[in-house]
Structure formats: structure tokens, C-alpha cells
Structure 1
Amino acid sequence: MEEREIKSEDVPEDLETLGGRGLTSTIVSDEVPPGCHPLGPHNKLVIAPGIVTGTDAPTSGRVSVGGKSPLTGGIKEANAGTSFAQILGKLGIKALVVEGQSENGYQLLRMGNDGADLMDADDWSGIGLYEAYDELYDKFGEDVGVCGVGIAGEMNGANSGVAFNDVEGMPSRYAGRGGLGAVMASRGLKFIVADSEGAPGVEIRDEETFRKGRKKLADALREHDVTKPGGALNSYGTDVLINIINEVGGLPQRNFSGGQDERSSNVSGEEKAEQIKNRGGERPHHCSPGCVIRCSEVWTKQEGKDPVGVLEYESVWALGPNCGIYDLDTIGELNRACNDLGLDTIEAGNTIAVAMEGRVAEFGDGDKALDLMEEIREGTPLGRILVNGTEFAGKAFGVTRVPTVKGQALPAYDPRAIKGIGVTYATTPMGADHTAGYAIATEVMGVGGEADPLKTKGKAELSRNLQQSTAVIDSTGYCLFTAFAVLDIPEGLEGMVDTVNGVLGTDLTTDDIPEIGQQILDTEREFNRAAGLTKEDDRLPEFMREEELPPHNEVFDIPTEELDKVFES
């Protein structure tokens, strides 16, 4: 970035079979000094589509973003579903590596089949992303993909994400976690605009194997109760989980002080779907072309005004019940503010809840929560505390109930009531991250087997197996939600592997998945060790081992020896 130099390289032989998370983590591990400052000149931002992204494989429009995290101090991968990912794949771009730091203000990278160039982007600095994306689409055309960072990233906030366009062109698809928006902004890169016109498309080396695999996977997705048309995700979106997790007593309320509240049904997927139908939004909906699950939506104000994009389960919970807020309109405006500022909604909601715990606001005060978002927009001292996330805010406000692991805030499942997900939170290299090993599938939904969420036995093995398989899915470019079908329907898993073989010309089998996944995890864990993280960082917050969570009055009681066994056995 300091030289405004764009260089194209052939893919090294040892990276040819990698994609998505496997590729971002490998490049970061190879090229970023583990001890470097995440916002300094030696960190890099790596953006990589998955192996099958850009093909017509079902539900495969994912992109991975990697770097050293300013939030966790370790390696980080965050991903999103967006047409931007498919454009990169069609352009034949295996990865985009952003290095150095611009001394000439913010830049915009334009890329297409005719090459790439950098242009000044200072005109879009300091404005909200909804307005900026509208202007970018007016300038570059309605068919481009856009990736960018908002005001939070410009503030070098550790709570800033990397925003991607949804199919309407709004900045609602986020690689949100870990503060990677600050990494991008600190390079001096404000936006990337990608155009697939004239692109060659993804090379498929074995068309027949790919075609057969695509059908197997599509059939499985259309058959499984969670992913099929008219199924849970298609009907109610990810927010279908609000009532489910509330019922099992694991939906964190008011900064993880409770696990259940009857008012949570006011912000459930079922209630939201009904309101969308009445107010002129859209549901079901796809986050990127080719998604057959279609769990997304467009939430709007009354009469279809001021569309936000999707209100995901995690966002509704974090900005809602976790802050004592049970009104979808307020949550929608908070979500819109996060999108506009470039904030991760999980981290933002946890930060507001901790601020409420610290008496900056009262639990349930939605107007004050919106005011806190404006503090960030205005760059006030309070805003600069909030933009740096939950743990930073906890220290600033003297709060002891701070729900973080490795500096990253916990998602929407309390590990005292659902203990396998707690093992994932504690041990994943990514900081507290439910998507790194989604034990909820088995413990609550009965997918891939069954496990009592309140029991401790077998949870280390459950988490390890899910972390391995997730690392592979994150590398393929498939949405994590395909896991529901492939965990229960063997032909679906075979189809996923077949499509990867079709693209790469390899002969992988389903038996190879654990080893490939573990290789990715080993790479990430080795980086973290070199960065100074130890097994003592693989722990949940102290209060979760001591404070009983209503209504089950459980603590997180999986022994530390079991946590260590996840990767030591």
C-alpha cells in the first residue's frame, strides 16, 4: 500500500489445493510475524474465496478474511456470504493479500478481468456505509461487488468488521469478528470494487465428478428439515433459534446474568417473519446468488422504508435480550447503525451490555443504546471506548462480568446451559466463536447425533470433531449451514467432497476431513503460541465457573484438564 503497487503472482504449488480459511490462515502464518502489532506495518490482510466459490455449487458464496486480530492478539479468520466472493472466484483470484500501509490517505482498489488499479477514496471517508455503497454502485455499476470498512475501522476500533454487499447492494454481509476492519483500514485500504464482466470463471478439472457431487449435496439440502424449502431456516431465518435457545435456558439475558426470559419471544424468528410480511420487507431471501437455503431477509421500517438487510439470530440476541431490549424496531435500528458504522453486531451488543452493567445506561433503554452508537460516529472519548469492544469496555467501566475469551465476546449461547459450545469458545484459536465448532447442532438440535447440553461427558471430543470439520467447510466456500444436512445425510457429505475434487482434480474422500481440518487448526494454534497465547488462554471467564445461571442454576464445570484434551489427545 505504501508504494501503491499491484502485483499478480501465480499460485505456489503448496497452496494450489487450499481455499478460504485454509488459505488465509496459511498465508498469515507464513508471512505475518506473530509478535507484530496488529495495526502496524507488518500485519497483512488476506481475502480468499472458497475452493468452489464462483461455481454453481449450491450455497457456496463464501469468502474468508484473515489477519492477526487486534481483538484477540492471535490469528483470525472471519467469513461472509456475498456475491463479492463469487466475483473473485470467477476472476480466477485465489487470494488477495494487502500489505504495507498507505501514506497517501485512503485508497480504493478496483479490480476486474482487465486488471486492477488504485484510486483515492478519501471522499468516502467519515460517511456511513449505506450512503457510501449507494455512491459506489452509482459510480461503478450495479453488477459489481463491494468490500469495505466503515467509520469504526477508520478509528482503528477492535470491534470493526469488513463489510460486503448483499444482493441489494447494502453493506449487510459482514466478516465481522476479530477487528479485521481495523486491519484493512490501517493498511489505508477503504474499499475494494470487483467486476466479473468478461471473467473466465472457475476452472473445473473434472466436470463429471463436480456435477454428480453438486446434485448429491443439493438433494441433501432440499431433504433436511433444517435446510429444505419450508424448513426452519427457510421459513424463519437464523432467528428461529431465539425461542429454541430460550426454551433450553441458554439464551443470555442482560449481560449473561440469566438464561431465559419470556419476553424473548417478542424478537423471535416467528414474530419477525410475521412483521416482515406485514411491513413490506422480504423473506425468505438469499445472501448470495445460488443459495438454496435462503435463510436471509430484508428487514425494513413500516411500509418498507429504510431497509436494513438481514437481522441474524446473533445480532437480534446481542442487541436485544443481552441488553434487556425486546423490541424488533429498536433492534433493527441498532443493527442498521452497526452496518453503517462497520461494527460487528455480536461484539457491539456485548459491549453495550457491559456498558449497561457499568451504569453507562440502564438495561432495556433502547434510546440510550442508539445514543451510544452515535458516540462512536462522532468519535467522542466514550465512543472510542465502545469501538474497541467488550473487554476494553469492561476494564474502562470497572465491570467484572465480562463475557470474553481471548479478548473476543461470547456469542448467543450461554455455556453454563449448553456446555459443548463452551468447550469450543474456550479452545478454538479464533477466540469465543460459535461458528468454529457449532456444538449447538448436536446438543440442542439433534443434528449429527445427540448430546445432553447440561452434561460434561464427551464434550471435548464433540468440540474437536466439529472444529476439524468446520475448518474444512470454511475452506471449501460452502456456508456453514450446509453442515446440518451433511452431518445427517452421508450422500450430502460425499457430494461436498466430490465438488471439491471436481474443481481441484484431487481424489479426496470423506475420511480425509479430520486430518485436513486438524492441519488447519495446527497452523492456527502454532501462530497463536508464537504470538504468546498459552493453554491458560483456553478458558472461559471466571464468573461462568462461579455464578449459577438461572433457570437451571448451572455453572460451567468442565474441568480444565478436559479443555486441554481437545487438542492434546
Structure 2
Amino acid sequence: MDKILRINMKTKDVLYEDVSEQYSKLGGRGLIAKILLNEVKPTCDPLGRYNKLIFATGFLTGSLVSSASRISIGAKSPLTGGIKESNAGGITAMRLAQNGVKAVIVEEIPEENNWYYIKISKNSCTLESADEYKGMGTFEFCNEMLKKYPNCAVTCIGSSGERLYGAAAIATMDKENNPNRYSGRGGLGAVMGSKYLKGIVVTDKGSVEISDKEEFSAALKQYSSVVKDAPSSLTYKSLGTASTSRVTNEMNGLPVNNFSGEKFQHLESISGEALYELIESRGGEGKTAHACMPGCIIQCSNVVPDENGKTIVSPLEYETIGLMGSNLGIGNLEIIAKLNAICNDIGIDTIETGAAIGVAMEAGIIEFGDGEGALRLMEEIKEGTVLGRVLGNGVEITGKVFGVRHIPVVNGQAMPAYDPRAIKGMGVTYATSPMGADHTYGAVIKTRKPYAQASRESQILLALYDTLGICMFARGAVGKNYELLVNLINAKNGWNIDSQWLMKIAEDTIRDEHKFNQLAGFTNKNYRMNESFEETEIADIQAVFDVSDEDLDKVLNSFK
């Protein structure tokens, strides 16, 4: 029987709780939303004692269903002041599920300024001192944990989380034992740092219980075949997420020089094809396809090597290429990879950080296109200088400090690599998401539907995948064939749900998130696009973000 593990950082109490009926048929993002709504004061200080940090598994986690073992992490966000969930691949969620842990809830703050990590074994959990690891980067910390606990799984923060940077992220080990998988958005690393929690370490492997093994095997075979042969899976496996850059640049939607609305003149140097050719030509440790978790068929990840074939970073994805490449006027994949590598080691979001550096460039701190200058700014963030702390606290603060009005932000969180003036469906998602500008909340790039409708439908679909613990890239293969998912869930858990039930929990998750924000003081007027993107035109296509407030409110009101 799965348990919820509750850890109080003040009293050091560690409790295994039975899963209540209210939480029994929830997972991932849906479970996080329900726990936060039930247990956290929405008006609390995100870095204070009343916030809670939650790590949750999904319905199929640990079962070796492809792309179905993502870890969901959530809390009240220090960036947005509202609810936040951010999920990632890696091996920690799988290990938690294999040890019978449905969720970990971290409460309170230590009275003393001592650091800890949580060690989870089979039927055992302890708080261990982490004072000797304070200041370590994510890679060094994970290596130290592997020395103590060979074959462990680790989720942790770097120095950015320790410094409570608003852009601080949480890293999770991949299957090669490197902390490369990121719950990047919303400043959740700062919440973890506020609780003096350096990491979670799961030492034991195991297996999850399958209720009907014969039915599960048949359902798994069908699902795996559909995912493996889907055109979207084949594209991701060959070019990765970087394949998106060509599409968005053609639409004037790829961010260039702080979301200027221009097309990037050096696209051929940063495209999916260019990245593939770079990795192939350098060989060595490079990989053009890579699974971020065991059993993943899609393998959209990669490993980028240097000229000697040694790893610079893994993975290099579209969002990072957009925000730390074209958005900074940088057309050199090796420099972008090095920027990414520093972010991974200090534990900071590449989207938020790239957007902040872009604003600093517009303010004249360094010039657009200055790759070496961008690397120097990353060192400022790493060292914790005054300038580094400004940048590390995100794009909104950076814009205010430097007096830049054109800030790519909604509700405190930086826009991902889609300009909402050109890609308006994504703009609706930015504006109406209770988590700030977040493409994973309702991704819409091209659509023939009204923008508000397309965004709303995508928001529901991705709430479903996030609650199940399944990667959003599986949606291209599964489409609306929800029976593939229903059959797997029923066979694994012994349930008797249907596709209508799945869609209901997805909508209920969004309602819970909006309810939390409403109680935190949000109204419909908070869910609006940054005025600069409504006023400053993309000249080539004569476009501003012009979806009406009425249409935005229709999306919002549909979830009340």
C-alpha cells in the first residue's frame, strides 16, 4: 500500500501516512494542487514556514511505461505569488514509487541554520546532516551521494537554491546518474533552499505492484507500439526539441534580442539540424538521441560534446537555445551549451536566466551577441555578486532594476521561447495560466481554432498528462486515443475508470489551481498580457498580442 511521507524540518518528525481516499486517485500535478489547496495558506510567504514543498509521483510511475515516470514538484511560487508545479524526467520518481511512496511533503523551516538531506530507503526515512555539502554544485553533491549510497537516485538544489534566487530550480538525476533533468520554473529551488533542504536521496530499488499483469502487458504492448511509430516521436528522436526553432523563427515567434520580433539571421547555426550535425561530427560522448528516464521510447534528449568528444551538457533543448541563444543574439551552439552547463551546475532555470540576461543586454550591460560576456554574467550569478543576484532573481526584477519596460514576463515568470504576438495561442496560455508564463501549461504553436479555444483545450490535455506523470511529448503519439491510457491505468491499479473520468480530473486540477490563486488574492485582472506586447508591434507581420480581455476571461471563467 502506497504511503505519503511527511517530513517536518522544524521538529524533525518523519511520518508515513496512509493515503486518504481524497488523494488515492490523484497523482502528479493534480495531487499537488489538492494538497496545496487543503494544507497551505494561499497568502503565506512562499519562502516562509507555512509553505510546503511537495514531490509527487503519477499513476503509472515505476511501471516502465514509456515516458510515464516524471517527478512533479510543487509549492507556492516565490516568482508568481501563486501556485506552481514543475515536472521533470530522471529516476527519482521511479525510485519513490518502487519504495511505496506516493508523495513527499516537506513542511516548516529549521529553527537552526543547519542543512539537511532526506534519505529514503525501503520502509525507512531519515534526515541527515548536509552542512558539509553546503555550497556544492549539483554535480559535486550527486557524486558525493553516490560515494555514500551507490546506485542511489538524487533530487537536489545547487548554490542558486541556497541563495534563494527567484530563478532557482531543482535538479534530478538521469539514468546515467547526472543531475540533468530540471523542474526549472517558478523558483521552486528557492522554496527548497528556504527549508534548508539540499536534496532527497533514494537509496533502494524495487518494483511496483501490477494489479492485472496480463492485461497490463497487453495494454503496454499496444501503447508502446503507438508511441514508437508516431511521426512526432521519430522527429524528436532525430532532431530533439531543437527542431522547433525552424518553425517558430519562420513565424517570427522565436525570441531574438530580448523578444524584438525580428527573425534570427543565424538560425542555420542553432537549428535542430545544426545541433544534430555538431553532435555527430564530434562523436565521443555525444548522443543525438537520449532517454531522460529508463524505458523512454521517444528519446528527445541529447548529449552535446566539446571538440574532444567530452560532454559539455545534456540535454540542450529548444527553450534554452531560444532564451540563451537567439534571445541573446548568440548563434554559437557551443557557447549556448556552456551557458546551459553552468545553469545545470548551480541549479537555475535557463528560461528565466536567459530572459533576465536578454533584458540586461537591452539595458546595455553587455551587447547582444556577446557570448563571452554572457558567460561572464553567468559567473556573476554563480559567485553571488550584486549583479549576479539581480539576474538570479529573474527577469521582472532585472527589468525593474535596469529600467527596461519591454520585459518578457507574465505574473512574475519569464516567457518561454514563443513570442505571444506571433504565436497567440501560446500567449493566451501565458496570460491565463495560474502559474505565470508557462508553455507546458497549454502548448499551442499552430492552430486553426480560435486562440482562446485552442489554449483552453491544450490546458486540459496537459493537466491530464501532468497528473498522470506522463511526458507531454507522448501526446503527439497518443492523440485523443485516451483508451490507451485508461487500459494501462486500470490494469496497473485495479481501477475501472474511463476517458471521461480522466478529463474530469484534468479540469478539476485546473480548478483547484485557480482556486488557490483566488484565495491568494488573484482576480481576472491579474491574468493579462504584459502591455508592452500589446503595444509594440512585430513590424514584419504587423502583429501585437490582441486577444481580447473578454476572450481571456472566457477561458478563466470556464474553470471556476
When normalised by structure 1's length, the TM-score is 0.94
The amino acid across from 1:268 in the alignment is S
Displacement of 1:259 in angstroms is 4.2
In structure 2, the residue matched to 1:373 is: 378
1:442-453 matched pairs, under 5 angstroms: 443=446, 451-452=447-448
In structure 2, the residue matched to 1:514 is: 503
Displacement of 1:273 in angstroms is 1.0
Displacement of 1:307 in angstroms is 3.6
1:143-158 matched pairs, under 5 angstroms: 143-158=151-166
2:312 touches 2:338 (CA, 8 Å); kept in 1?
A: no
Q: Distance in 2 between matches of 1:502 and 1:93?
A: 20
In structure 1, the residue matched to 2:4 is: none
Q: Distance in 2 between matches of 1:513 and 1:10?
A: 24
Instruction: For residue 327 of structure 2, give the secondary structure of its aligned residue in structure 1.
Output: helix
1:468 touches 1:518 (CA, 8 Å); kept in 2?
A: yes
In structure 2, the residue matched to 1:226 is: 232
Displacement of 1:378 in angstroms is 1.5
Deviations 1:134-188 (A, max 9, x none): 22222211x2111001111111111001110122222210000000000011111
The amino acid across from 2:182 in the alignment is Y
Instruction: For residue 17 of structure 2, give the secondary structure of its aligned residue in structure 1.
Output: coil
In structure 2, runs of 5+ residues without a counterpart are 1-8
2:36 touches 2:75 (CA, 8 Å); kept in 1?
A: yes
% identical aligned pairs: 44
Q: Distance in 2 between matches of 1:60 and 1:33?
A: 31
Q: Distance in 1 between matches of 2:148 and 2:287?
A: 27
Displacement of 1:246 in angstroms is 1.0
Instruction: For residue 477 of structure 2, give the secondary structure of its aligned residue in structure 1.
Output: helix
1:301-312 matched pairs, under 5 angstroms: 301-312=306-317
Q: Distance in 2 between matches of 1:123 and 1:278?
A: 41
Instruction: For residue 254 of structure 2, give the secondary structure of its aligned residue in structure 1.
Output: coil
In structure 2, the residue matched to 1:40 is: 48
Match of 1:160 among 139, 162, 168: 168
1:522-541 matched pairs, under 5 angstroms: 522-541=511-530
Q: Distance in 1 between matches of 2:232 and 2:277?
A: 19
Q: Distance in 2 between matches of 1:4 and 1:375?
A: 35
1:249 touches 1:550 (CA, 8 Å); kept in 2?
A: no
Question: Which stretch has the larger CA shift, 306-315 or 94-103?
Answer: 306-315
In structure 2, the residue matched to 1:95 is: 103
* Paired positions, count: 547
In structure 1, the residue matched to 2:551 is: 562
Instruction: For residue 359 of structure 1, give the secondary structure of its aligned residue in structure 2.
Output: coil
Aligned CA-pair RMSD: 1.4
Q: Does 1:358 align with 2:363?
A: yes
The amino acid across from 2:41 in the alignment is P
Displacement of 1:104 in angstroms is 4.4
In structure 1, the residue matched to 2:65 is: 57
In structure 1, the residue matched to 2:535 is: 546
Match of 1:271 among 269, 274, 281: 274
Q: Distance in 2 between matches of 1:150 and 1:372?
A: 17
2:164 touches 2:194 (CA, 8 Å); kept in 1?
A: yes
1:236-255 matched pairs, under 5 angstroms: 236-255=239-258
Displacement of 1:212 in angstroms is 3.0
1:183-202 matched pairs, under 5 angstroms: 183-197=191-205, 199=206, 201-202=207-208
Q: Does 1:127 align with 2:116?
A: no
Displacement of 1:435 in angstroms is 0.7
In structure 1, the residue matched to 2:298 is: 293
Match of 2:475 among 468, 474, 483: 483
Displacement of 1:46 in angstroms is 0.2
In structure 1, the residue matched to 2:350 is: 345
2:30 touches 2:505 (CA, 8 Å); kept in 1?
A: no
Instruction: For residue 163 of structure 1, give the secondary structure of its aligned residue in structure 2.
Output: strand
Instruction: For residue 331 of structure 2, give the secondary structure of its aligned residue in structure 1.
Output: coil
2:360 touches 2:402 (CA, 8 Å); kept in 1?
A: yes
Deviations 1:397-450 (A, max 9, x none): 10000111110000111111111111111101111111111112xx1xxxxxxx
In structure 1, runs of 5+ residues without a counterpart are 444-450
When normalised by structure 2's length, the TM-score is 0.95
Q: Distance in 1 between matches of 2:120 and 2:551?
A: 48
The amino acid across from 1:226 in the alignment is S
1:296-445 matched pairs, under 5 angstroms: 296-440=301-445, 443=446
In structure 2, the residue matched to 1:474 is: 466
In structure 2, the residue matched to 1:502 is: 491
Displacement of 1:204 in angstroms is 2.4
